Structure 1
Amino acid sequence: MKMTTLALATLAAASTLPALAKPLTIDDVISLNKVHSAVITPDGKAAIFGLKKDGQSNLYWQDLDTGSRKQLTSNPSTESDVTVSSDGSAVYFLADRGQGSQVYMLPLGGGEARPVTHLPLDVAGYKLAPNGQKIVVEMSVWPSCKTLQCSIDKQKELAGKKSTERTYDQLFVRHWDTWANGFVNHLFVADVNGGKAGDFKDVMQGLDTDSPPKPFSGMEEVSFNSDGSKLVYSAKAPGKDHPWTTNFDLWEVDLATGQTVDLTSDNPAWDAQPTFSSDGRYMAWLAMSRPGYESDRYRIMLKDLRTGQARELAPQWDHSADSLAFASDAKTLLVTAQDTGQHGLYAFNVDFGDMKVLSRDGTVGSFSEGAGRVLFSKDSLNQPSDLYVEDKDGFGLKQVTHVNADKLKDLQMGDFAQFSFPGWNNETVYGYWVKPVGYVEGKKYPVAFLIHGGPQGSFSNHWHGRWNAELWAAAGYAVVMIDFHGSTGYGQAFTDSITGHYGDRPLEDLQKGLDFIAKQEPWIDADNACALGGSYGGYMINWIAGNWSDKFKCLVNHDGLFDLKSMYYTTEELWFPEHDMEGTPWDNAAMYDRWNPANFVKNWKTPMLVVHGEQDFRVPLGQGLGAFTALQRRGVESRLVVYPNENHWVLHPENQKVWYKEVLSWMDKHTGNTEPAADAKK
């Protein structure tokens, strides 16, 4: 089968540019205005959203038809987690206005915001009941405490301790970037008209488990039923198996009696994101099928609360949903999912399971629906996020905001396109290329070969805050990204195919993909290339060093796995290696040895930059130190950059600037790249 570069006119940037256009820099990326916390009003006529610009974030109201906009807040604090009351008269949000993070209410008819909660602990998240009468908040507490004051006392006790030891009797000892300290996320419910500490009831009192689950989940894991009489949340059952099980269940609390029931005890895998239709008939949620596998397909489950019957909605749809919510008609489920290098928004009819595509090109983020209109954020490889609105039937798409129009008008972006080729087993594999800024026909350009992490992940058509492909294009590189076997968004079998095959199938895809696109696009100089990646992408850099050692001029390894056995014993979420390596190191040592980069150090000869965050507990610092030690002892040109205050990601702006400077300087040195102008690489 002949494969060619896909002609995606909707994806490629315009080549006609202003005379004074300049390449994108990391300073530009950091300084971009950011739209966030967007919701649509219940009547579908207006959007309310946060806009961060010039270091200040405020809330705005905008008419979706006329485009008229007004500023709602001007407080130095940042408002987030925005909700509009069911009658459209008020907006709720989280903010810290001198009393810690609390819930506030702002009347849309005029007046000042007033606090809804007056709690002695920070509120990390909240959700209102559909009728607006109750509120649930998330706080971090000592699980056995029966009062908030007890948790405050426990905080003071730990802070005042003169010795510095940490003691543990079970895992997790640490998670993502935080050492366990005994506090857990619990949910507290009260009447909206209450708000004081004594009014809130801990519906998880005594449970040594988190909801929302750490480290990344939010209030999408919590939902009131349609009449506000019950609360459903996702959590693991208390126990010592949390680091190696993915068995999250949905727990229903009767708010009148306090009785709690496990609604999904029959599923030993992951259940998440409960949501209810407004008419009280349905509960929908996401469910995986296989225990111990975080990247299994999230099925869309639907339970008829009248009959008690549960079924999978659209079982033939081979995509993994990652968020869902009922529309106000109670008959439509709005769902986001990855799809062939995009991240789209879809509408499902709950009666028949038929689906409509609302947005497919680019990456859809958050969404909100009111009166049949859907507001959503979307970005792409060459366009940061803005808001769009569309009817839930797929008509009337319109861009609502242009928050960076002034900042982008003088910036030049590289054209890009998606392509496909026959990879491992002659199966179709997809990727993207991005042309260097200032591209000249007939010239060849050095390659930045970006390898995504996960490994069940994808760079996709997405404006990335950290691994931004346009920044390499701005620095004069041809960018190539391959969604190798194991990547998400190409069907579950494609994602599953990396299990037990960390080093062979993905490597074959990377080799074939780079060779294919260099032949298709002669401006891509595959003989003058550097490969770089983070996490599993960093693993692949270490693997390439020992198993494709004659291809690249240089390598960049960010927080990459170096020694799979030591990695297992020092990481935190053990279900990752136990699934991907098909067992533990003592039960399947051969698998860990087979795909262990440390076993091929004798072949290392390519110059490598090693970057690691000291607070990375997912891939601990020892992995980066091990790779650097191997390089130094082998006499291979190498450089180590360590960030004491970063985790698995580089999040601090000043550190991001240094990161790109180090990476681009390393690549320039080894490829001989001197274009474009130096100011593009500051």
Structure 2
Amino acid sequence: MKTLTLVCTSLALALSGFSYAGEIDKSHIQRLGPVTSTTSQPLSKGAHADALRANLVTQLTQQESVNIFGEKYRWTEANSTSDKSGWVAYQVPISTQRFTQGKLNVSGLENPQVYLNGQLVKSANEVTLTLANGDHNIMVLADGYQSDAEFAIAWQGESEVDQLSYTSQDTQRVSAQQLYDSKVISALSLSPNGDYLLQSTTEYRPETGDKAIKVTELIELDDNQVIYRWQDNRPASAVWSDDSDTLAFVANKQIQLLDVESLAIKVAATNLENVSGLQWHNNSLLFSWQKPFKADEKATSKRFQALEDRWSYWRNNSQIYQLDIASGVIRQLTDNKISSNFADNNSKNNTLLFTRHPVDYAQPAHGLTQLFELNINTLTETLMGEFRTFSGVKYADDGMYIVAGPRFMDGLGMQNPDIEVNDYDGQLYWRDNKGNISALSKDFDPSIGSITKLDNDDLIVKVTEGDRAPVYLFDKSKKRFKKLDTNMDMTTHIGAATAKSNPMLVFAGTSATVPQKAYKMKLNGSPKVIFDSQKQSYANTRLGKIEDFDFTNKHGHNIDGRVYLPADFDATKKYPALVYYYGGTSPVGRHFTGRWPFNLWAAQGYVVYVLQPNGATGYGQAFSGRHVNAWGKYSAEDIIEGTQAFLKQYDFVDPKRVGNMGASYGGFMTMYLATQTDIFAASMSHAGISNLSSYWGHGWWGYGYSGVASRGSFPWNNPELYVDQSPLYQADKITTPLLLIHGNADTNVPVGESHYMYTALKLLDKEVELVEFNDQDHHINGHNARFDWWDTTIAWFDLHLKDQPQWWNSLYPETKK
């Protein structure tokens, strides 16, 4: 039986006010000031007034009291005004239980400037506010008081549903801005001796708007002290020398060397644009250097040379070079019309490994990888093999590790030759120096991801295991995997020192209801926190609880799932619910945040059910193999059956108010489910596939992905699969209101896939909406675009599952003719 995880359950919440219209009682408002010691000018005066006020708001929202040029000021109840002169700040904590619109009126203050959650709304006495379901903070900065008017803040909702609650509480529900803007680690690199950590972070702040703040720091790991910092011209492709004395990296079109002891930087080579993949090789550096393809600017047409010509980068050519540190001389090591992709190098043998990908469609998945070894002394290339499910390779002392699919080497990694397998289910192999290859993970159900080799040839292995991404140690001598205790569900970044005895590790990641943390840990020790996003960005945030919910389907398969409950859950209420499932073939990981913010949906009053239907990797080869040549057959059964079991178990969910959504393959599943069931009251398909044939023939990777998902099946030899499993050909069966979302620059699933379904449902007079996001690719990654995308999604479900059309109508008002 699985255990129940409860997070942030303590809540000090007392509703102390409630209003649709009228003046806000001053007992709900806090005041700081008047402040007279900072400047002789009002806040609204001066060349940099806006920037100064924005900085002030950031500081004031983070502190209960503040020392300003030697004088201490505290937030106090604003039950009276002051006869002192100077600038003043007011703040009002508010809460909404739905999308809320109205006007905030401020009187009695000179030059008021209104901020919502730290961002300027407007400098005016009256401002219009639109508030998502959640907890918010209104702050007003002003030069001082007006002599002829009494201070007051009033709210006027657009209608009786636009109500504010004025709350006194210790915590707030999680917000979209927290989930996207908070500082997170984006890269980690540990020196071989384990003394130094190169760490990159990304965050957003109100004052920088849509531009991310990206910083890279060199840290002494022992005391977590920063000894060097980059913000402009940050290092890329950073790599440590074997003795940990020097860090090589690319910056400003140069290869630079940082001496760790003196912190002096030396330029080793310059005028090197499009250089990446640095690796030390004795006293030299190996790297990849790409020459971008330059099209004929006068050409009016483009002749396709291969299916890969859909890829904007395919005609670029990348080769491997070597930089001699002492002289600065660079020489080219590979030269071919096909790019040579650097994989690994062996300093002792003076060799390196690289791959090439010639055009070859002979077998699924219609791509070929050639593995070569290069003798750096003689520049002799030796072909090690040609493979179709190859992912990566690492040298070891007496051979090499290879990561590939189960079919590698004629099915060497398959657990059962009589079952279908999923080529995306990563496996680990060993190739000895005589060329003999053996499978190392055939009896290991987790899907192998990245590998890091230690000096003793053991591996640190990131895997997908169910809906988690743990880290394992692979003991080469015992040929055994051992899970490491990382204190997190999803390990996203990892670095390892390569000392032979008990090496140091650093890793970062999240859990389903725990924001990002980073740890350092001896291989045989316990994790110690070195970065904690929870303390920095979520200290006063409350979340709902999460619990595991599995069920056994009609075929006897265990279907893994989890359920998120609203932050202020009340078992006596009836809640709407959202159901989500995997896209592609990877399970839905237990990330704290990401493109699909389950904690945010729960904070906005939804019960969220996430399940892992048949076809997902990380549950064994038989389970993931049911993805192949199925296109929804098994997955749809699991989702429908799982939703029914979920509704039976959770009687506080209203069965008439359940929505579903998915993206990419999950978007396809959403459209396909709409042709198979009416169990859902509303659906959202993001970047979904409606016509298997058109995606197969037009998507950037359509033919390659279909070579796995539809292995051996084509429109001419299995038309039933391509027609019967395409939602487009069953559009007349759809009765569920359907929202189609697509980036109009999507290179994976062309935007036409949503247009096909939109056209069909419009002609059939079905309820359908199509929203395109301008200049967005398969993933909606832009800062402001992400918020608009999240808003669109939840507004759609508020419309259909909560009978609250206001948010949707605000985002997409009807055009009057």
Classify the TM-score, shorter chain: 0.7 to 0.9
> For residues 489 and 632 of structure 1, do their structure 2 counterparts lie closer, same or farther at Cα, with a shift above 3 Å needed?
same
Q: CA deviation at 1:624?
A: 0.9
Query: Matches of 2:639 and 2:588 in 1, distance apart?
Result: 14
**Paired position in structure 1 for 2:461:** 335
Which residue matches 2:174? 24
After superposition, the Cα gap between the structure-2 partners of 1:200 and 1:29, relative to the gap in structure 1 and judged at 3 Å, is farther
Which position in structure 2 is the counterpart of 1:491? 620
Of the three residues 344, 350, 366, the one matched with 1:223 is 344
**1:194 to 1:38, Cα distance in 2 relative to 1, 3 A:** farther
> 1:242: Cα distance to partner?
10
Aligned to 1:560: 688
Contact preservation (8 Å) 1:380, 1:463: yes
Q: TM-score, normalised by structure 1?
A: 0.86
Cross-structure match for 2:121:
none
Which residue of the partner structure matches residue 461 of structure 1? 590
1:15 aligns with 2:9: yes
Q: What SS does structure 2 have at the residue aligned with 1:374?
A: strand
- The aligned counterpart of 1:262 is 383
SS in 1 for 2:341: coil
| Structure 1 residue 244: Cα displacement | 4.6
Structure 2 equivalent of residue 430 of structure 1: 560
Residues 314 and 659 of structure 1, relative CA distance in 2, 3 Å threshold: closer
Supply the distance in 2 between the matched residues of 1:243 and 1:612 (Cα, whole angstroms).
Answer: 28
- AA of the residue aligned to 2:245: S
Structure 1 match to 2:544: 414
Seen in structure 2, the aligned counterparts of structure 1 residues 242 and 413 have a Cα distance that, compared at 3 Å, is farther
- 2:474 maps to a residue whose letter is F
Aligned-partner Cα distance in 1 for 2:289–2:544? 45
User: More strand by proportion, 1 or 2?
Assistant: 2
In 1, Cα distance between equivalents of 2:380 and 2:4: 54
1:174 aligns with 2:310: yes
| Offset of residue 189 of structure 1 | 2.6
RMSD of Structure 2 on Structure 1 (CA): 2.7
1:367 touches 1:375 (CA, 8 Å); kept in 2? yes
Aligned residue number for residue 114 of structure 1: 266
Counterpart-to-counterpart distance in 1, 2:644 and 2:573 = 18
Q: Give the structure 2 partner of residue 470 of structure 1.
A: 599
User: Does the 8 Å contact 1:290/1:296 carry over to 2?
Assistant: no
What is the alpha-carbon distance in structure 2 between the residues aligned to residue 59 and residue 484 of structure 1?
A: 39
Q: Sort the Cα spacing of 1:106 and 1:315 in 2 relative to 1 into closer, same or farther, 3 A.
A: same
1:369 aligns with 2:496: yes
Report percent identity of matched pairs: 20
Q: Distance in 2 between matches of 1:211 and 1:123?
A: 12
| Residue pair 1:245, 1:575 contacting (<8 A) in 2 also | yes
Q: Which residue of 1 aligns with 2:373?
A: 252
Q: Select the residue among 319, 322, 329 that pairs with 1:186.
A: 319
| Counterpart selection for 1:94 from 222, 247, 250 | 250
Q: Does the Cα contact within 8 Å between 1:33 and 1:404 map onto a contact in 2?
A: no
Secondary structure in structure 2 of the residue aligned to 1:663: helix
Is residue 51–residue 57 contact of structure 1 (8 Å, CA) maintained in 2? yes
1:426-457 deviations in whole A, cap 9, x for unaligned? 21110111112222232222111112201x11
Structure 1 residues 322-362: Cα deviation after superposition (integer angstroms, max 9, x where no partner): 1112113x141111111121111000111121221114751
Partner in structure 1 of residue 60 of structure 2: none
The separation in 2 between residues aligned to 1:77 and 1:234, in whole angstroms, is 30
Normalising by the residue count of structure 2, what TM-score does the alignment of the two structures yield? 0.72
Cross-structure match for 1:312: 439
**1:378 match: secondary structure:** strand
SS at match of 2:600: helix
- Per mean C-alpha deviation after superposition, the further-off stretch among 72-81 and 487-496 is 72-81
Q: Which residue of 2 aligns with 1:546?
A: 675
Q: How many residues align?
A: 628
For 1:644 and 1:241, the matched residues in 2 are separated by 37
Retained in 1: the 8 A contact 2:583–2:666? Answer: yes
Partner of 1:36: 186
| C-alpha distance 580-559 of structure 1, shift in aligned 2 (>3 A) | same
Deviation at 1:259, TM superposition (A): 1.5
Q: Does 1:666 align with 2:796?
A: yes
Instruction: Flag the structure with more relative contact order, 1 or 2, with Cα contacts below 8 A and sequence separation at least 6.
Output: 1
What is the deviation of 1:512? 1.7
How far is 1:71 from its partner? Answer: 4.5
> Is 1:50–2:176 an aligned residue pair?
no
Q: After superposition, what is the alpha-carbon deviation per residue over 1:20-67, rounded to whole angstroms, capped at 9, x for unaligned?
A: 42222322222111213212232224433112345332333444444x
TM superposition shift of 1:180: 5.0
Q: 1:250 to 1:385 in 2, by over 3 A?
A: farther
Pairing 1:162–2:298 present = yes
Instruction: Tell me if the contact between 1:58 and 1:79 (Cα under 8 Å) persists in the aligned partners.
Output: no
Q: CA–CA distance in 2 between the matches of 1:524 and 1:115?
A: 63
Match for residue 290 of structure 1? 407
Aligned CA distance change for structure 1 residues 126 and 238 (closer, same or farther; 3 Å)? farther
Q: 1:363 to 1:224 in 2, by over 3 A?
A: same
CA contact (8 A) 2:593 2:599 kept: no
CA contact (8 A) 1:448 1:478 kept: yes
Change (3 A) 1:396 1:594: same
CA pair 180-61 structure 1, distance change in 2 beyond 3 A? closer
Are the equivalent residues in 1 in contact too, given 2:340–2:354 (CA < 8 A)? no
Quickly say closer, same or farther: Cα 1:13–1:56, change in 2 above 3 A.
same
Distance change (3 Å), C-alpha of 1:201 and 1:632: same
Deviations 1:221-261 (A, max 9, x none): x1101426111023323557699524323211111112112
Contact 2:422 2:624 in 1 (8 A): no
Q: 1:671 to 1:604 in 2, by over 3 A?
A: same
**Hey, what does 1:69 align to over in structure 2?**
225
